Structure 1
Amino acid sequence: MKPVLTGDKTVLRPFTTEDADVMWEIINDPEVVRFTFEPSTELTLDRLRSWYGVRTADPDRLDLAVTDRATGELVGEVVLYEWDPSARSCTFRTLMGPRGRGRGLGSEATRLVVGHAFEQVGLHRVQLEVYADNPRARRVYEKAGFVVEGVRREAALRGGEWVDDVLMAVLDHEWAEARTRREGAQVTG
């Protein structure tokens, strides 16, 4: 069952085929291309429609549309994938379009879906990879409790320059500790 997760600023919901047109605009944003897709990735609107049309059927991954709670506008996505039931782990990725940036929507969406992974699914570990030249994303992940585990040096050739991949993860007990600190800060703040 694919959940709907609601925060103060965002609602995360399962994708529909109708979301493909907006996601097409989002994934063609130059910043999204720079930090998300390999330059050789070939996507078409038809392939995207097919992709989002079946996302809710996959039992081993969770793809959710990030929407602005105030307007209902689709602004990005969060995904838990590469689920390993024996290790109780998965990989996380996200992307935010231009209308979703700089307002805390990505930070809240990250906290909501990672919280769901630990608190509802019962995972032990959530990991991700982020390009080293994407400080905005790294800050979001660090605020959510992810820590750097390693760096794959010069792992990707992007725009004629080599870029490092930063490997990050958060464990269930680290998530619980960070959540307690966040809730304590809200009470005292």
Structure 2
Amino acid sequence: MPLPDFPWETTRLTLRPFRPDDPDDLDDLHAYRSRPDVHRYLYTEPADRADSEANLRKKSRWTVVAENEPLVLAAEWRATGRVVGEVNLVLRSREHRQGEIGYVFHPDFHGRGFATEASRVMLAVAFDSLGLHRVCGRLDARNTASARVLERLGMRREAHLRENEWVKGEWTDEVVYAMLAREWAARRDPAEAPRQAEAP
């Protein structure tokens, strides 16, 4: 499925594939993936350095959209040139044109709107480039900060699943947000579309 050429630019961020041989990418990825607070509501556990190295190599290969394989992009803050988080888009069903978005950002950069800014671009790609019909976001019901991101994107809260998963030794609730293509079309701003970075 066609994608705009990388990298993509938003107002403040450059969204691009992770660079497996870039020590700065490794340092920046490890800086947030090693933190217990980042993994509080995720399925994963804090990473050691070796885990982050393997994760970086894996993420750098996820640059196409294939069914149930995530497109994962580093979110680089252009003001500093450093990666402050990541966004992903997963094609859940080609037949039913269903997708899912996700994001993880370093807690030091929470509250600045980076996750919302980057995720808007992923919605634009999902609906405008890939022609998806519905995109969802799933999260632990206790993760209210993440829920606010999805609400700012205009996604609708569709479900609250009670104790539907056993995660890290406890039953957890899951909340599902979603948006349809026609809802995106009604609210989309052409300025939110991914812009290809200008050649140096």
Q: Shorter chain as normaliser: what TM range? A: 0.7 to 0.9
**Counterparts in 2 of 1:27 and 1:155: CA distance versus 1, 3 Å:** farther
Query: Hey, what does 1:55 align to over in structure 2?
Result: 62
Structure 1 residues not aligned, in runs of 5+:
184-189
* Higher helix fraction (1 or 2): 1
**Contact conserved, 1:100 with 1:106, CA < 8 A, in 2?**
no
The reply to whether residue 44 of structure 1 matches residue 47 of structure 2 is no
Report the Cα offset of residue 69 of structure 1: 2.5
Which gives a bigger RCO, structure 1 or 2 (Cα 8 Å, sep 6+)? 2
Q: For 1:46-93, what per-residue CA distance to the aligned partner results, in whole angstroms no more than 9, with x for missing partners?
A: 42133123223x441421111113222101111111442221221111
- Structure 1: which amino acid aligns with 2:35? D
Query: Hey, what does 1:89 align to over in structure 2?
Result: 98
**Counterparts in 2 of 1:140 and 1:52: CA distance versus 1, 3 Å:** same
Structure 2 residues not aligned, in runs of 5+:
193-200
Report the Cα offset of residue 147 of structure 1: 1.0
**Counterparts in 2 of 1:145 and 1:156: CA distance versus 1, 3 Å:** same
Q: For 1:19-64, what per-residue CA distance to the aligned partner results, in whole angstroms no more than 9, with x for missing partners?
A: 23321221122221102234599981342133123223x4414211
**SS at structure 1 position matched to 2:38:** helix
The reply to whether residue 146 of structure 1 matches residue 155 of structure 2 is yes
Report the Cα offset of residue 163 of structure 1: 2.6
TM-score, length-scaled by structure 1: 0.83
Report the Cα offset of residue 5 of structure 1: 2.2
**Counterparts in 2 of 1:152 and 1:26: CA distance versus 1, 3 Å:** same
**Counterparts in 2 of 1:127 and 1:64: CA distance versus 1, 3 Å:** same
Q: Which among 23, 26, 41 is matched to residue 29 of structure 2? A: 23
**SS at structure 2 position matched to 1:29:** coil
Task: Provide the rounded CA distance (Å) in 2 between the counterparts of 1:99 and 1:40.
Answer: 16
| Alignment size in residue pairs | 181
Task: Provide the rounded CA distance (Å) in 2 between the counterparts of 1:111 and 1:168.
Answer: 14
The reply to whether residue 4 of structure 1 matches residue 10 of structure 2 is no
**Contact conserved, 2:91 with 2:97, CA < 8 A, in 1?**
no
Task: Provide the rounded CA distance (Å) in 2 between the counterparts of 1:93 and 1:75.
Answer: 15
**Contact conserved, 2:34 with 2:47, CA < 8 A, in 1?**
no
Considering only aligned residues, what root-mean-square deviation do their CA atoms show, in Å?
A: 2.6
Task: Provide the rounded CA distance (Å) in 1 between the counterparts of 2:92 and 2:159.
Answer: 21
**Contact conserved, 1:29 with 1:98, CA < 8 A, in 2?**
no
